[in-house]
Structure 1
Amino acid sequence: MVDAFLSPTDGLGYNMAAPAPTLDPAPTSEARQYGPARPPVLSQVDEPTAQDLSQLPLFMSSLDDVPEGTNDAIEALKALAYEGEPHEIAENFRQQGNESYRSKYWKDAIEYYTKALAVGCSVDEIDGACYVNRAACNLELRNYRRTNLDCAEALKINPQNIKALYRSARACLALDKIPEAEDCVERGLAIDQNNKPLKTLQETIYARKGVLAGLQQASHERERLSKAKEAALRRALETRHVIQRTTSTRPPNLPDDAVVQLQDPMDPESSLCFPVIVLYPLHLQSDFIKSLPEDETIYSQLEEMLSPSNLPEWDKETEYAYPAVEVLVEKKKYNMHGKPSLSKIGVKASLKKVLNEGKLELINGILTVFVVPKPRLQEFVQSWKRENPN
């Protein structure tokens, strides 16, 4: 009976005479969209969400991702990590750290090495490896100070630890601590004089040392030139008897390079150039001359600034058309009452002469003059006296 049943088969136990199975009909658009219908029992269960899956060990990136006390199974798995002798627990964490390190998960590796050290197994081989490996992770993350701290701990355990010396040297080099980096490399080569990574690093340190020496020399040269220029400028102002004063405030909206300077910064005998603020007090307006050579007159600048074709928009009455203006300064040689006074500047008086006479004061490196229309000169003088009573 059995032989008769098997005779029409292909020898594998399948009935070759049986009709070929038919394919399931093509799924409807609804089925294609939602998949096959769920069994009645499962259809009553909610679909798992991504958050639910993240709580399952299979889908978790770390057991620590689950809040403590929310999953008994996870708490049991966590407890397993701390079962065994201290050296076994520490070694387990170290191996997990090594896996994370090989996968370039530096922060995860640091966490595992830290846990291994926290066990306190007192096995030098394990602790030393954890310190030096955590240093490698910190080096990758550019935590150079932590790298050095871990290397120092590793060297306390084993002063012959070449990896610790190498990584400490790299961290010091990254911080441009050249003497410290050189010391680490020399100590490492004293242990293994043929160590290629240390030799390569030694060459890199030497090259960086040369670059830093060049930068330092250039910095010293800039500082020397700066001091020489300051000394030349100071001497030039002193020989011209320029009165100077420094206050806590500088006029706003002035260019940073609006400063007194020598045409030849190293020669105190060369011409001085001054920035000048031109005030029009009767109209509460102002102009700025960035650099006025001491051999020129203020009027030479006003001739261009206040030419009939170049008058400012606010001068509706064309009162300031050159040469119908007067230039005045507050004279800093005090009068008998101990108060400043106004002084007119001659058309042909050079800036150098005005400064030598002590009529003009350099305040925060800026000169200030008043310009008023000639017909309104007395009006301005009376106004100025009211503001500066004797």
Structure 2
Amino acid sequence: MASSTVQSDSDDGMDEFMDKFKTQRYKNAFSVDNWEEEFNKVPMFMKTAPEEIDPQKYPELACLQAIIHDEDRPPEEQAKSLKDEGNAFFKEKNYQKAILSYTAGLKKKCGDQDLSAVLLTNRAAAHFHLGNMRSAMNDAAAARKIKPDHLKALIRGAQCCIELRNFSEAIRWCDEGLKAHPSDKKLQELRAAANKHKRAAERDARRATAKEKKLHGEKEALLAAIEDRGIKLLQSAKPSRCGSDSEDEDEGSPAAISQLSLDGLSSQEATGAQVFLDEQGSLHWPVLFLYPEHQQSDFISAFCESSCFVDHLAVMFGEGLPPWDTDRKYHPQNLQLYFEDEEKESLYQVNPETSLLRVLQHKRFFVKAGTPSFIVLVNGSPFRKQFLTGKKIHGL
């Protein structure tokens, strides 16, 4: 009878509660306007963890954090909780925080070798996704040292080696892994990829070596050809006087390099052209013509040493005069050519019928910056007279 009475009272209470539930709002219910924001504060339903955990704003999460970091718990439990925390950050692609959690777990030194290997491997994965290949490699190696057959550590180590372009080492990691896991497809794929990259790198290295050897041979042949012709290359310093002002000097100045090198052929950077030796053994030089009267210039990228100046002048001024020649006086037959001897402050007049090679072999001609240059003046012009005033003029 008593049991029946209790049941009746209980039912009556439930009915009363349900009646109130229908007519009165629950005091702790989520707001209709911001229920999503409130829902996201519940740890179980959070989409992302907050950057900083305010106990007033996130009391439930703060409580869980306190449990996770409870120093009274055994180190194994703390390390495992930190591993789980790191995994949660990892899933959110928050790799920096995942690394911090895994590192904190490792600092617990729980003594569980399996857990330590997992923490190291997971931290290696986070480093890998951040592009920290060296750190990822170190963690994978440390995990492998604890557990030599740890599959994820072996895979991660091989991946790091490939990213670091150490393909031989990647193959060694894969081979070691395949001994313990002979049927693992990922290791097989990584080994095949590493081997392919290794062969490609070796092929590229052979090609680079062959190309370098060829270029070296071409440079040696070029310098030998210049030296055989007695052509003097001038470095940045001007040639100094050798104690004699005699025009009959047979020796070049000290600044004219006695042992030729490509340092004296630096025109390529400025002009995009450089002297070269063709298959027939002829040198082709970049040559600059200067017109001081009009502050103009012409550039010939490949002037064959056997060609005469008149051949190029006929092309440049034969069919039509340049627009800057308003007086129409730059005709091939009216032009005079000179090269400058800076040391002696002299000019040497060049016969247009002369070949470039003959001029370059002159004892007072120095090729500066890899580009022979010549001054062009109009015969009989007032500017020519003014320009040559006070200068020593010599013939070839």
Q: TM-score, normalised by structure 1?
A: 0.74
Cα deviation code 1:177-218 (max 9, x no counterpart): 123222222332344445443333222222221111110110
Structure 2 residue 329 is the aligned partner of structure 1 residue 312: no
Helix, strand or coil at the partner of 1:122: coil
Structure 1, residues 301-356: CA drift from partner, whole Å, max 9, x if none? 1122123x532222221232222110000147x7xxxx242111112100011112
Q: Is residue 2:221 matched to residue 1:232?
A: yes
User: Are the structure 2 counterparts of residues 192 and 53 from structure 1 closer, same or farther at C-alpha, using a change threshold of 3 Å?
Assistant: closer
| Distance change in 2, residues 1:287/1:204 (3 Å) | same
Superposed CA RMSD: 3.4
SS where residue 332 of structure 2 aligns?
coil
Alignment partners' CA distance in 2, 1:325 and 1:216: 53
Q: Is residue 379 of structure 2 the alignment partner of residue 374 of structure 1? A: yes
Q: Which residue of 2 aligns with 1:277?
A: 288
Q: CA deviation at 1:77?
A: 3.8
CA contact under 8 A between 2:267 and 2:370: conserved in structure 1? no
SS at match of 1:210: helix
CA–CA distance in 1 between the matches of 2:127 and 2:231? 59
Choose from 120, 128, 151 the match for 2:140: 151
Contact 1:136 1:167 in 2 (8 A): yes
Q: 1:328 to 1:52 in 2, by over 3 A?
A: farther
AA aligned to 2:368 is I
- Listed as ranges, the matches of 1:97-136 within 5 Å are 97-99=86-88, 101=90, 106=95, 109-136=98-125
- 8 A contact 1:279–1:368 mirrored in 2: yes
Q: How many residues align?
A: 333
Contact kept? 2:285, 2:372, Cα under 8 Å = yes
Q: Which residue of 2 aligns with 1:294?
A: 305
1:1-390 map, 5 Å? 60-66=46-52, 71=57, 73=59, 74-83=61-70, 84-99=73-88, 101=90, 106=95, 109-247=98-236, 254-256=270-272, 258-264=273-279, 270-307=281-318, 309-331=319-341, 339-376=344-381, 377-382=384-389, 384=391
- Cα distance change, pair 292–283 in 1 and its aligned pair in 2 (3 A): same
Instruction: State the Cα deviation string for residues 239-285 of structure 1 (Å, max 9, x = none).
Output: 111110122896799432x1101122xxxx61111111111122222
CA contact (8 A) 2:41 2:58 kept: no
Sequence identity, in percent? Answer: 26
AA partner of residue 271 (structure 1):
S
Residue 173 to residue 251, structure 1, CA distance change in 2 (3 Å): closer
Give the conservation status (yes or no) of the 8 Å contact 2:53–2:62: no
Encode CA deviations 1:60-113: one digit per residue, 9 max, x unaligned. 555552366764725434212213322112212323444555676655544442
Residue type at the aligned position of 1:260: V
Structure 2 residue ranges without an equivalent (≥5): 1-24, 238-263
Q: Distance in 1 between matches of 2:268 and 2:202?
A: 40
CA contact 1:55–1:66 (8 Å) conserved in 2: no
Change (3 A) 1:236 1:98: same
**Conservation of the 8 A alpha-carbon contact between 1:329 and 1:359:** no
Distance 2:190 2:325 in 1: 72
Letter in structure 1 aligned against 2:111: S
Residue type matched to 2:321 in 1?
L
Return 5+ residue gaps in structure 1 as ranges: 1-38, 386-390
Structure 1 pair 237–70 and aligned structure 2 pair: CA distance change class (3 A):
farther
Q: What one-letter code is carried by the residue in structure 2 that aligns with 1:371? A: V
Instruction: Check the 8 A contact 2:83/2:102 in 1, yes or no.
Output: yes
2:267–2:274 CA contact under 8 A, matched in 1: no
CA pair 199-55 structure 1, distance change in 2 beyond 3 A: closer
CA positional deviation for 1:50:
9.2
1:130 to partner: Cα distance? 1.0
* 1:9 aligned residue: none
Give the TM-score taking structure 2 as reference length: 0.73
C-alpha separation in 2, matches of 1:226 and 1:252: 15
The 1:138–1:347 alpha-carbon spacing in structure 2 relative to 1, beyond 3 Å, is: same
Describe the shift of the 1:254–1:302 C-alpha distance in structure 2 as closer, same or farther (beyond 3 A): farther
Q: How many angstroms does 1:223 deviate by? A: 0.3
